[in-house]
Structure 1
């Protein structure tokens, strides 16, 4: 069963690049904060690179003005996420977190099997909004779609 509104974000470690590879746990990411986390099936893939991440980059200041942190997660390694973020122009403060073994998306129940595309286990495309580690809004895409997890739609639900 996948995570639901009202559930607490599970405790898992993720990785990111900050003066080398660093480990960060989900309580550090979510505790005492308002956070929008969006997940993509893969860095450098077409919809993720042309629409999903760029939408959050474009609306980053709108989220921050509401006191909301923005986090991108993908089942890739932290080096790929760093390079992808640089290629898209991710602003400082938008965290690019790697879930290399899909531990986090599995704990959320939001993994998908992309083996048919040679990609193995990946994150389903989704976004969530959490207050102090508790999910308040959840936007999970139907397979192959990009509608509800967009930055504009998530932002509209925060008003």
Structure 2
């Protein structure tokens, strides 16, 4: 598993934008500045939709005031699902919605998990702070937990 003080590896994630589906290399996307990347097991799932993503949307201004240049949500769903989820929750420009459609980037990070009949290989729930391409904070949740990767916890770590 990726660890604090390690550089973010290269890979591919996608986003559905106005120009269609765009591909990004996270190592390049987060090479400069301070970024939050949090991952959820799946779009439209209860905890992810009711708490995890909305927490980051609600605290986007405070995270920016703490020096965060971008907030990014990653899930093992396709880019079209991520866009629809963002529209349903009225995310706007607060959070970039990134797709890891085949879980390859989650696997590269060592943060993939086989959830069996729930949906196959998905991402574990986590949050990380990336400063100039290096993971400065990593918060990986335990089984069926939701505390460490909350926006409030990440904000407190940045302010502390």
Q: TM-score, normalised by structure 1?
A: 0.96
Alignment of 1:81 onto 2:71: no
Alignment of 1:88-127 (within 5 A): 88-117=89-118, 119-127=119-127
Aligned residues of 2:112 and 2:123 also touching (Cα < 8 A): yes
Q: TM-score, normalised by structure 2?
A: 0.95
Aligned residues of 2:66 and 2:155 also touching (Cα < 8 A): no
Aligned to 1:143: 143
Structure 2: runs of 5+ lacking an equivalent: none
Q: Secondary structure at the match of 1:81?
A: helix
CA distances 1:94-141 after superposition (whole Å, capped 9, x unpaired):
210000011111011001111132x00000000000101101111000
Q: Measure, in 1, the Cα distance between the counterparts of 2:52 and 2:29.
A: 21
> How big is the alpha-carbon RMSD for the aligned residues of Structure 1 and Structure 2?
0.9
Runs of 4+ in 1 over 4 A off after TM superposition: none
Q: Measure, in 2, the Cα distance between the counterparts of 1:63 and 1:50.
A: 19
Aligned length, in residue pairs: 157
Q: Measure, in 1, the Cα distance between the counterparts of 2:147 and 2:94.
A: 24
Q: Measure, in 2, the Cα distance between the counterparts of 1:142 and 1:91.
A: 30
